[in-house]
Amino acid sequence: MRNTLLISIAVASLTFFGCSKRSNPGSGGAGTAPKAAIIAIDGSSTVFPITEAVAEEFQKGAKARVTIGVSGTGGGFKKFCNKETAISGASRPIKEKEVTLCKKNGVAYIELPVAYDGIAVVVHKENTWVDSLTVAELKKLWEPSAQKKVTRWRQIRPNWPDQEIHLFGPGVDSGTYDYFTKAIVGTEHASRGDFTSSEDDNILVKGISTDKLALGFFGYAYYAENKDKLRLVPVDDNNDANGKGPIAPSPTTVADGTYQPLGRPIFIYVAKEAAARQEVSAFVDFYLSRGAALAAEVGYISLPPRAYTLAKARYATRTVGSVFAGHGSKVGVTVEQLLSGK
């Protein structure tokens, strides 16, 4: 017994020192393919369910192995620009800082929109007073200067009750938060700090559905699954050009661009170098042709067919770079407009 113990200790230590020997730098990168070809994907948790669905279907007919990590849009781009992944999911366009990083490491990328996601503004089921909100009212409520000042419903509209307002929102690292602040407050990543935030949107659902004075926002899919517990607030952008009056998010209003400014496209970024690999290219083609149906199946809103055609053309010609040029999200533009460069 004692000898067995000593032997097992010896074996274990060998394992440990073995692990530094086994290192082979360069493998596992996007450019080189170790063993069975691996398509390494990482990025946003918002895009993950779609990519997961596509990968699942893709692997039924192909030998390549797809791996998907979820380290957030920002974390994903860090790996992507470091040549660790072939494809990165993003719930917002690539940022200036990330553009610079990619350029420094010589990573050229093809930006492809894959679906729409609407950001739903919701209140408690029994909230009887809120029938709509304008963008200006949302801004008044969420901008940084509202902190500790705008705290009661009445301050938004005088005929609303003189009761506290409890705010809920996604964590400040999420692309959803970035987009909401850009669309509502005007500056990406700027908002009041005194709201209940959670990285897990189900927590937000729970919080809002149990608090009569609550107001919050998160991805439309979470509203769609909890319709019985929440009330949707239609949003009015005061721009009659894309639909008159307050409009509530739905697959139709998000896809036709009338739910503005809170409807947004989500993307995958494909490294140009990796796109030269046969299996990666096959995967992206599969993504663009089957993605519409699969996105709808997992609770997202597919792009109009024309947008997929444009995206395919963009991929076929390997058009690199971002239509957003590193300036962050553009609010109130449809994917077709973006892709056709108008």
Partner 1 sequence: MRHATRNRRRERFWESFFRKICLAAVALPLLILAGLLLNVLLDAAQRIDWSFISSYPSRKPALAGILPALVGSFYLVSLTAAIALPLGIGAAIYLQEYRGRSRIASLIEVNIANLAGVPSVIYGLLGLGLFVRTVGMGRSLIAGACTLALLVMPIVIMTAREALRTVPNTLREAAFALGATRWQAIRRVVMPQALPSILTGAILAISRAIGETAPLIVVGALTFVTFLPDGIDAPFTALPIQIFNWVSRPQKAFLYNAAAGIVVLLATMLVLNAIAVYFRHRLQRRWS
**How many residues belong to the site for partner 1 (CB under 8 A)?**
51
Beta bridge partners of 111: 269
DSSP notation for 30-74: SSS--SS-EEEEEE-TTTHHHHHHHHHHHHHH---EEEE---HHH
Residue closer to partner 1 by CB (options 16, 341) is 16
Work out how close the CB of 107 gets to partner 1 at its nearest, in angstroms, rounded to a whole number: 17
The binder of partner 1 chosen from 131, 164, 194, 200 (CB under 8 A): 200
Establish if 299 lies at the interface with partner 1 (CB under 8 A). Answer: yes
Torsion region of 326: left, alpha or beta (phi above 0 gives left; psi -120 to 50 gives alpha): left
Residue closer to partner 1 by CB (options 69, 207) is 69
Note whether 88 and 269 are within 8 A (CB).
yes
Work out how close the CB of 195 gets to partner 1 at its nearest, in angstroms, rounded to a whole number: 19
Establish if 70 lies at the interface with partner 1 (CB under 8 A). Answer: yes
Which SS3 state, helix, strand or coil, does residue 120 take?
Answer: strand
The binder of partner 1 chosen from 37, 52, 330, 340 (CB under 8 A): 52
Query: At which residue do the structure tokens 């849009």 appear?
Result: 73
Establish if 142 lies at the interface with partner 1 (CB under 8 A). Answer: no
- Least Cα distance to 149 among 159, 164, 135, 130 occurs for 164
Residue closer to partner 1 by CB (options 52, 211) is 52
- Least Cα distance to 341 among 157, 129, 319 occurs for 319
Residues at the site binding partner 1, with contacts judged by CB under 8 A: 1-2, 9, 11-13, 15-16, 19-20, 22-25, 27-28, 35, 38, 40, 45, 48-49, 51-53, 55-56, 59, 65-71, 79, 84, 199-202, 219, 221-222, 224-226, 294, 297-299
